Amino acid sequence: VVVRLEDYRPTDYLIERVYLDIQLEPEAATITSRLSLHLREGTAPGTPLVLDGDALVLRRAAIDGVELAPDAFEASADRFTLRAPPAEPFELQIVTEVNPTANTELMGLYRSGGNYTTQCEAEGFRRITYFLDRPDVLAVYTTRIEASRSEAPILLGNGNPVETGDVAGTGRHYAIWHDPFPKPSYLFAMVGGDLASIHDTFRTRSGREVKLAIYCERGKESRCHYAMDSLKRSMKWDEDRFGLEYDLDVFNIVAVSDFNMGAMENKGLNVFNDKYVLVDAETGTDWDYAHVEGVIAHEYFHNWTGNRITCRDWFQLCLKEGLTVFRDQEFSSDMRSRAVKRISDVAKLREHQFPEDAGPLAHPARPTAYREINNFYTTTVYEKGAEICRMLQTILGEDGFRAGMDLYFRRHDGDAATIEDFLACFADATGTDLSQFALWYHQAGTPILITEHDYDAADETLTLRLRQILPETPDRQRKSPMHIPVAFGLVGPDGQDLSFSRATGARVDGSVIHLTDLQAEVKLEGVKARPIPSLLRGFSAPVRLETDLGMDDLLFLVGHDADPFNRWEAAQTIAMDLLKRATEEIRQGATPVFDGRFAEELGRLASATELDPAFRALALTLPSDMEVAQAIRTNVDPDAIFVARRALQTHLGDRIADALAAAAPAADASYRPDAESAGRRAFRHAAWAYGLAAGRITSADLAEAFHGAGNLTDRLAALRLAVHRDLDDAPALLEAFYERYRDDPLVLDKWFSVQATVPQHSTLERVQALSRHPAFSMKVPNRVYALIRTFAAGNPVAFNRPDGEGYRYMVDMVAEVDRHNPSVASRLTTAFRSFRMMEPSRRAAAEAALKRLATVPELSRDVSDILIRTLEG
């Protein structure tokens, strides 16, 4: 069945209050739900009440305390129907029983590592009790949780704690929680277990004292401090930047090791994959620190963008996710380096979202149909959604954007809203017509922006011709021109930006050209010298830019552009061009030759000590294999791309490795996770990589760096290089790493990932062997992601092996995981999303593997949805 946006209809009944009593038992938890229901005004009395369920067993049902007659209702695993409900408000009591231990899907109420946890978004609440399980039904919840005190001394719920106590003579105890804010069922959560914790407080700007706590597995509480610090900084930042205060007496975070996704914003009780909470110098990398900070902030920010204002239906997912990603990006930019954050986010967008948008799984940020909503927690909804908010800010200015946000919170607090509601606030607050802009939510595909320029010295006029192409996507929708904000500058001969006196041909506000037609010819007058146009500064729109700038102009921008993003971008553009050409030459059997001027310019940039080392490290990072494949677009041969990359690395290494070694900062005496220190490490690792490529650094040097490392970031960087370059010391380092971290699941995940990404065909056999390693488990999502998904999504050489064995292996893994965890299995399936761009023999092998997957009996809806779309697209 396909759910369609156009079929949206409000419910016939409203649920005002929910009282839940949850009796925790490992194999039979009993849930008693009392729902205060009433008919919606205008609905005919007697209209049947239909509640959602999923794999439920009904124990009892009663209305206002009177047991229901058998013919008054119908209950199946996935539905509860009350045939003729009372016309007056009534209380429906329902008792269900679930088995938390047998719940391997990790949706609903499950038990892992001895702890009880819930995950309800998007449709997990219906696996706990029958309910109107949709985001536009908002109710006030009171939850009583009861469990054996020895098994679960900690009992947490949404909202504020009300009461705790013993159940005399049973060894059991209970806790009652009350959440005063009406919320949809997907924000419900409860946790029970024997957990350790750290505590702190935060005073909001109006003086409310909030008790903060982070709970985790015993023995790991010392790794929670950075997360706590990030939480307090997030709370302060949301007050300062958006005027948003926290609204309950407590804020609890629980870190669990078995979790399908990153984290979940349940009201007052965020539940996290422990990967995004636990960090210290010994067990967390710089990457981990940055992501802990970002994800803690993201979930906290949902309290306003998601919880206080939620979504009317799941088509609106981007309303909360895109906006909240934008907010967490802004937070991280303020905490760290704005330029470095922007570059990393854009690189991520290109690596993941652009391929999604260019393949069979492309969909608008606000989709209009789905078979399985779990499959729409995508990079398009999240990351492109964030880009849309960013463009809104670019178009309206920071003040206009803030005015729109303020109106959104004033107008919609307590609502289940839509994208249209959201945009109307910005239109109303600023008097702007956003109807064309709204297309960003409705049209899938990455627009291509093509530009040409001409400078007339006599007239002192620069002419910019801009054209947008809207590629076809699987929905076959006819597309209208989008509103593309093009931030720009005119880089003069001395590297300073030149001004212009007048602009005609399109709306130009300050430094932003608004392209709203398919094409425009913009004339900028009063330009005193021949400029190099620096377009799409800060990546002001999520498009593929194709300019007419040649090598000389690009090299000049690498050296001089006042916009750090475009400085980086100019280097990427050159590298991409070199990689594309070299790939083609390799396929023709030729040896690639590179233009040496790039190495010179890059060497200069890398040694420019006035620049942030983190920025310089990013400039030294070549576009990923996936980006190169996307740029080549058809008839792709991943092996040739890889050989081209190695050739370019060697070419660059030969020319800049010594300069990098000289410029590389020495190791800090002690580990500090701040952005600056992390940037120095990243630069050092880039110097190692080019040193290796040039043969200036040996296996023994890396082994020494590994053993001398004072933190996981340096240790892992040395390990990765040794293993990926297949150096003599690699096996011994892998062994040493394993021995050091064998009891630490999160670090072992990295040990698996490093090996899954070795760029060789034989990595497939290595992954197969590792999947039989005693430390591996198909039941633990983080492990499956670390080994299997990393292999498929992060190792183009091995996954796309010419003999098709990589594809066949993946299909087997999908089928195996699907039997116990469909969400994880469907994420693995998306690894095939770009198979059509491969050269014919790989394409045929991938297609055959997918068709075989389609014959597997009883595939989940999650996997078959991805499969159908991938094969049709």
374 makes contact, choosing from Zn ion, ligand ARG, none, with CB < 5 to 8 Å by partner type, with ligand ARG
Q: Toward ligand ARG, which CB reaches closer, 276 or 598?
A: 276
* Residue 263 near residue 295, CB atoms below 8 Å: yes
d(CA 834, CA 632): 12
* Residue 22 near residue 98, CB atoms below 8 Å: no
For residue 136, give both structure tokens: 């536009």
Q: Toward ligand ARG, which CB reaches closer, 124 or 489?
A: 124
Name the amino acid, one letter, at 596: G
784 makes contact, choosing from Zn ion, ligand ARG, none, with CB < 5 to 8 Å by partner type, with none
Q: Toward ligand ARG, which CB reaches closer, 303 or 393?
A: 303
- If one asks whether residue 152 binds ligand ARG (CB under 6 A), the answer comes out as no
853 makes contact, choosing from ligand ARG, Zn ion, none, with CB < 5 to 8 Å by partner type, with none
Q: How far is the CB of 107 from ligand ARG (least distance, A)?
A: 7
Position closest to ligand ARG via CB:
377
The structure tokens 């009583």 sit at: 144
- If one asks whether residue 230 binds ligand ARG (CB under 6 A), the answer comes out as no
**Considering only residues 205-244, where is the footprint of Zn ion by CB under 5 A?**
none
377 makes contact, choosing from ligand ARG, Zn ion, none, with CB < 5 to 8 Å by partner type, with ligand ARG
- If one asks whether residue 372 binds ligand ARG (CB under 6 A), the answer comes out as no
Q: Toward ligand ARG, which CB reaches closer, 125 or 226?
A: 125
Q: Long-range contacts made by residues 621-624, C-beta under 8 angstroms, separation at least 24?
A: 621/347, 621/686, 622/575, 622/579, 622/648, 622/649, 623/350, 623/572, 623/575, 623/576, 623/579, 624/347, 624/351
503's CB contacts (< 8 A; 6+ apart) are 513, 522, 523, 524, 525
Contact region with ligand ARG (CB under 6 A), list: 62-70, 262-270, 467-475, 863-871:
262-270
Q: How far is the CB of 322 from Zn ion (least distance, A)?
A: 9
Give phi and psi for 610, each to the nearest 5.
Answer: -75, -15
d(CA 17, CA 34): 8
Q: 63, 196, 261, 736: which one contacts ligand ARG (CB under 6 A)?
A: 261
Task: Number of residues interacting with Zn ion: please give it, by CB under 5 A.
Answer: 2
Annotation says 282 is catalytic = no
- If one asks whether residue 393 binds ligand ARG (CB under 6 A), the answer comes out as no
Q: Toward ligand ARG, which CB reaches closer, 121 or 179?
A: 121
Among the options 146, 151, 299, 383, which is catalytic? Answer: 299
- If one asks whether residue 25 binds ligand ARG (CB under 6 A), the answer comes out as no
In the stretch 307-336, what mask flags binding to Zn ion with x, by CB under 5 A?
A: --------------x--x------------
- If one asks whether residue 256 binds ligand ARG (CB under 6 A), the answer comes out as no
Q: How far is the CB of 439 from Zn ion (least distance, A)?
A: 24
For residue 588, give both structure tokens: 């023709």
Q: Toward Zn ion, which CB reaches closer, 324 or 430?
A: 324
Instruction: Cis check for the bond before 122: say yes or no (omega within 30 of 0).
Output: yes
Nearest to 697 by CA among 739, 725, 673: 725
Nearest to 121 by CA among 310, 385, 300, 345: 310
Q: Toward ligand ARG, which CB reaches closer, 373 or 405?
A: 373
- If one asks whether residue 263 binds ligand ARG (CB under 6 A), the answer comes out as yes
Q: How far is the CB of 103 from ligand ARG (least distance, A)?
A: 15
28: helix, coil or strand? Answer: coil
- If one asks whether residue 264 binds ligand ARG (CB under 6 A), the answer comes out as yes
d(CA 808, CA 556): 47
Strands (E), 83-125: 90-98, 108-112, 115-119
**Considering only residues 274-333, where is the footprint of ligand ARG by CB under 6 A?**
298-299, 321
What is the DSSP code (8-state) at residue 636? B
Q: How far is the CB of 298 from ligand ARG (least distance, A)?
A: 6
**Considering only residues 103-142, where is the footprint of ligand ARG by CB under 6 A?**
121-122
Q: How far is the CB of 870 from Zn ion (least distance, A)?
A: 25
Count the neighbouring beta carbons within 10 Å of the beta carbon of residue 674: 11
227's CB contacts (< 8 A; 6+ apart) are 214, 253, 255, 276, 277, 278, 279, 292, 296
For residue 32, give both structure tokens: 């008693």
Nearest to 853 by CA among 817, 799, 802: 817
- If one asks whether residue 189 binds ligand ARG (CB under 6 A), the answer comes out as no
For residue 774, give both structure tokens: 């005693």
* Residue 312 near residue 260, CB atoms below 8 Å: no
Contact region with ligand ARG (CB under 6 A), list: 42-50, 261-269, 546-554, 625-633:
261-269
Q: Toward ligand ARG, which CB reaches closer, 252 or 534?
A: 252
Nearest to 190 by CA among 119, 280, 100: 119
For residue 738, give both structure tokens: 């394993």
Nearest to 546 by CA among 438, 458, 633: 633
- If one asks whether residue 265 binds ligand ARG (CB under 6 A), the answer comes out as yes
Q: Toward Zn ion, which CB reaches closer, 299 or 351?
A: 299
Q: How far is the CB of 321 from ligand ARG (least distance, A)?
A: 6
Give the binding site for ligand ARG (CB under 6 A). Answer: 121-122, 261, 263-265, 298-299, 321, 374, 377
Positions marked catalytic = 299
Q: Rule CB under 5 A: which residues touch Zn ion?
A: 321, 324
